[in-house]
Amino acid sequence: MANASYIASFIATILGLIEPFGKKMKTILPLNFTGNFLVGLSYLMVGQNSGAAICAFACVQVFINYIFDSKGKKVPFWLIIVYAVIFLSINLMTFAHWYDVFALAASMVFVVSVAQSNAKYYRILAFVNSSIWIFYDFLAAAYGNLFTHIVLFIFQIISVIVRDVKGKKDDKGENVQEGKNN
């Protein structure tokens, strides 16, 4: 099962490399859905039920949010509260180890991240989310997902720089290539 877990994590890593560079949530959310499914499957294969259950519900949340985004509507605040309550309930039902609290914290950040209509804010929150999952993966000995989350963490930093920091400077008419971005 460990080898299958690594394969699922590797595929999730590939998808995760593409995701943070998406310009619109309509592009980001399907990649996020598939990545969550694979990471959840990987957690399940190594016996980390809390992480697996949280990723499973994350797929449901992403699907619902995709429907709102495709209609050009924001996710209602009441639905964000419902998501948070469901994630809390899932964590309480699957809580087995003290470090499962990191899975809960990551899920709360995830609730807010995928509810964003602005991809910039999503990228920043996804960066925070990955950093929390790194702690969980290390403590849970979910090494395939640890690799995935470390790679995603690095690429999320790069995507924030490329899409948000550099893009903001380019929008102001500064010539980044000539080093006028001090």
Which helix H or strand E contains 155, and what residues bound it?
Answer: helix 143-159
pTM over 0.75: no
Question: 12: which 2 tokens?
Answer: 């999730």
- Count other C-beta atoms under 10 Å from residue 77's C-beta: 9
Question: 178: which 2 tokens?
Answer: 């000539």
CB 21 within 8 A of CB 162: yes
Question: What pLDDT does 84 receive?
Answer: 92
Task: Summarize pLDDT for 13-43 with one digit per residue, the tens.
Answer: 777 666 666 667 777 788 888 888 888 888 8
